[in-house]
Structure 1
């Protein structure tokens, strides 16, 4: 649909865009879009069109909502049948700021109010009698909305008004970005801070009291005195650095997690510094993708260093899997979802050319950088363990139910999810409910809290395992923090049924497919954070023991 050009500060009354007749298939298509709450998006001077709406919780202030709905459902008075109506008349309001120095004007807002009007024609159908210079009376006087039905004439019309504002051009995005209640964000931060302080207190008690006391007593023992028997975490010092099962896969996922961590941190810092302005459409996604490509260097380096420390020798295979495993699985899911959108003829599908460019950048930038980083990592001297590893593995004693790996891993994932779920709610709302989200400061604080929580909960649970003489901590540390992704995905399922009203199978598949990719990336990110925290903890406590 093309709308005729209009000029600055020249108001237009009701203007006819086009007249269409709904065929046999059109009503079903419109009804499906109305059921799925499809919205129409337009842009004027790089500003997206928005609908004014009141805030929730009885507030009198108003906020912007991105785009306008295709139509709505309703009933006539006294009727029980639910009908579908089209928003076929758009009242645009262009807000501008006038410069008193040179009398020029710049656009600082673009609002729309959609209406449903059943337009009337003259006897011969050549002129629309309900579209004239008196736009306001047209809207107020029309009591019959445009119903969606077969063989129905639908006329699309619009009008344009202008309003002067004190908002300066540099601040024109402020109204679009003030979409969320600050009190909820501060509640989220306070909630996260309480969790962090609680875990910090437990960790301080373990390190300052229990561990310090154990290390002091152990180092004061006479090696010739065998009357004192070692117990707890000290007894497994000869097995704690034994390479885990499938150490190559662990190295691959740690490298992928470092790459995602670097991408996330870089993007958030650039956004905080103001380099990723919302006026630059697509800038945030472009920055994320490019930073992920260039972080392939540290991904290869981290994976190679860990793999070599775990006595791995097949560095080429390790590098190959680091380059392709996580992005390959994610891209395969994304390609299937995009193919479904292609088949549906959706404008939201990524074009084949763009997909081809992304693959070329992946193979041309990320993969070579992973190989360079891996080469540099393997050239470094191997990291020597602080204690020697026994040749024969020690038998792990039977653990009580509350120290079972699956139970502790599931428990460990609750708190990392707890500190970010409110911000995650706002992110989901901005993606799926057409709202703006650009409060990067809150998101950065939530990310820092997430890092601290993943580190602390993993260290605490790792200590409980080592105290129970269970030295198989490598994969457990990764999965403990990474299990928060399970709760993230379950929350997205809950959000789907509570907040969204999606009925089409393909649309449901797209939602859960994208949430699966996001949860998978979150698993790799949090798992890597927990693993490195646990590695540092184990290294520090066992390097403090005086063992011959």
Structure 2
């Protein structure tokens, strides 16, 4: 029954994130034929989330792009809206193979208010983005000449002329660039009415680049030789970390375990348990179920779902779905994949909760659905309200919010419930090699570095160091204007992150048990997920030292959504760490005779 539905949803996903979209169905044009041009958004160059509609600034609006006294808007897919794209018909007429020396766009008298509005935009380094036959175009709207150190010595200029260089191959558009004329400017320094004359020119040049490779140039920046050297250095650094950690486990931990097995076997043969110490001593408590087991199972379920989501996203990236400027493809995939994987969270959480002898599985299921989705929803409400107050394109329209609610109501929630019912009826029992005693042993006094927070700090440092170099490129792509396309390298780094997290958690779990501390359940989850806290700490460093972001809206968007992302990493890596620790603990206690 579910197989046809899954196939349909997958085909729908592939359709919504199809490689190229345009009003022209096949991207072929005849000489003189109009080529679709859409103005997307404007905003401060250093604040990627703070973008506005193109015509929020008083640019010229030619009558040809008006329809019923309104600007003609392009119908957008869900992912484009989530990405903040608001495409409307562009002001320029760039017909196929039609050169223009200097065509007049419009003449306009700017009022004092409009001059002030443009000046503030120039001061904040506003840029514009357009799409011409689905090819992105950028350009700054003006410049600031700093004739002295004092702000009163600054002069603000608005560019009046734009030159378009367009390359074509036979009947198809291959490339387009926009260059602002540095000599054709309008002085906006003083608050007074000025006459503006906006013009543009077009030059067509033939090229032999095939249409199928026209997007390759946008991916070349991330694959330049010196960038590849840094990426490979990141992988080598991560691999060295893994090898060192593996060597540590092989030479130290395994030797200690071997000695432990020999010692415990000798003790069993001599039947002398009086001087028993170490991890065997707490065999009757090590599988005692943790406190707040409903919350623990919910965290494990959410972490498993996010891990599955990450794997699917990587697979889509490896097959080339997220090519540069495929507008909204990543957001569409994240939304749909999160909805479709909710059943995994329900099944994992409820089945594990029943293994822990929990009875209120309905409450556990509600907790699972809200543990990650709740903070994400609250963060979205706050940030969307902020975007509405700023009149920014990041504010989702009411119709899009309704669509998201419908997806949550008709897909996410039913799959979560179905997964929970399947988990409740799975009937599996918790596999424990040792019987748990009725009363727990008292944990001996431990030094400060064996407490939870110091252990989390040690556990999170090594995995974070393995991904530290790659983090900058990811941040520069998500919160900047750089492009990240090397998903194969990123996937390798992700695998290394999982391995290091698992190894570190196993090592710390052993030392915790050797100190006769049997409360390892929550500790292993917290230590595994502590890398998420390190990543959020890196956010503070990146914001202040590696970026020029400013303003309340951009700051709130950056730290708000990064908090959700790092929280997701915490749950995902926490689940990985606990699973690795559970396999390890079961293995060592199966290797001895437990009565």
Answer yes or no: is the 8 Å Cα contact 2:509–2:520 preserved in 1. yes
Residue 227 (structure 1) shift: 5.9
Give the distance between the partners of 1:234 and 1:28, measured in 2 at CA. 76
Residue 452 (structure 1) shift: 0.8
Give the distance between the partners of 1:519 and 1:106, measured in 2 at CA. 43
Give the distance between the partners of 2:589 and 2:119, measured in 1 at CA. 66
Show structure 1 runs of 5+ residues with no match: 50-66, 98-103, 120-144
Residue 294 (structure 1) shift: 0.8
Give the distance between the partners of 2:487 and 2:268, measured in 1 at CA. 57
Give the distance between the partners of 2:470 and 2:256, measured in 1 at CA. 36
Give the distance between the partners of 1:535 and 1:29, measured in 2 at CA. 61
Give the distance between the partners of 2:110 and 2:562, measured in 1 at CA. 36
Answer yes or no: is the 8 Å Cα contact 1:146–1:154 preserved in 2. no
Give the distance between the partners of 1:433 and 1:275, measured in 2 at CA. 21
CA deviation map 1:209-234 (0-9, x unaligned): 22133124323433662266221111
2:388 is aligned to: 342
Superposed CA RMSD in Å reads: 2.2
Residue 202 of structure 2 is aligned with which of 157, 160, 183?
160
1:229 is aligned to: 275
Compared CA separation, residues 215 and 400, structure 1 to 2 (3 A) = same
Does residue 241 of structure 2 align to residue 189 of structure 1? no
Give the distance between the partners of 1:530 and 1:482, measured in 2 at CA. 7
Compared CA separation, residues 361 and 278, structure 1 to 2 (3 A) = same
Give the distance between the partners of 1:27 and 1:395, measured in 2 at CA. 75
1:86-165 aligned within 5 A = 86-97=158-169, 104-118=170-184, 146-150=187-191, 151-165=193-207
Does residue 520 of structure 2 align to residue 473 of structure 1? yes
User: What SS does structure 1 have at the residue aligned with 2:291?
Assistant: coil
Answer yes or no: is the 8 Å Cα contact 1:232–1:467 preserved in 2. yes
Residue 298 of structure 1 is aligned with which of 344, 362, 365?
344
Compared CA separation, residues 455 and 19, structure 1 to 2 (3 A) = farther
Give the distance between the partners of 1:473 and 1:29, measured in 2 at CA. 60
1:254-273 aligned within 5 A = 254-273=300-319
TM-score by length of 1: 0.86
2:84 is aligned to: none
2:480 is aligned to: 433
Compared CA separation, residues 498 and 331, structure 1 to 2 (3 A) = same
Which deviates the most, 72-81 or 450-459? 72-81
User: What SS does structure 2 have at the residue aligned with 1:299?
Assistant: helix
Does residue 138 of structure 2 align to residue 72 of structure 1? no
1:200 is aligned to: 246
Give the distance between the partners of 2:307 and 2:214, measured in 1 at CA. 33
1:101 is aligned to: none
Residue 8 (structure 1) shift: 1.9
1:321-400 aligned within 5 A = 321-380=367-426, 381-400=428-447
Residue 460 (structure 1) shift: 1.0
Aligned residues: 500
Residue 172 of structure 1 is aligned with which of 211, 214, 227?
214
Compared CA separation, residues 485 and 234, structure 1 to 2 (3 A) = same
Give the distance between the partners of 2:582 and 2:108, measured in 1 at CA. 67
Residue 346 (structure 1) shift: 0.9
2:255 is aligned to: 209
User: What SS does structure 1 have at the residue aligned with 2:221?
Assistant: coil
1:443 is aligned to: 490
Residue 419 of structure 1 is aligned with which of 460, 466, 469?
466
Give the distance between the partners of 2:177 and 2:188, measured in 1 at CA. 24
Give the distance between the partners of 2:278 and 2:117, measured in 1 at CA. 67
Compared CA separation, residues 341 and 246, structure 1 to 2 (3 A) = same
TM-score by length of 2: 0.80
Residue 252 (structure 1) shift: 0.9
Give the distance between the partners of 2:321 and 2:548, measured in 1 at CA. 35
Answer yes or no: is the 8 Å Cα contact 1:73–1:83 preserved in 2. yes
Compared CA separation, residues 118 and 521, structure 1 to 2 (3 A) = same
Does residue 500 of structure 2 align to residue 459 of structure 1? no
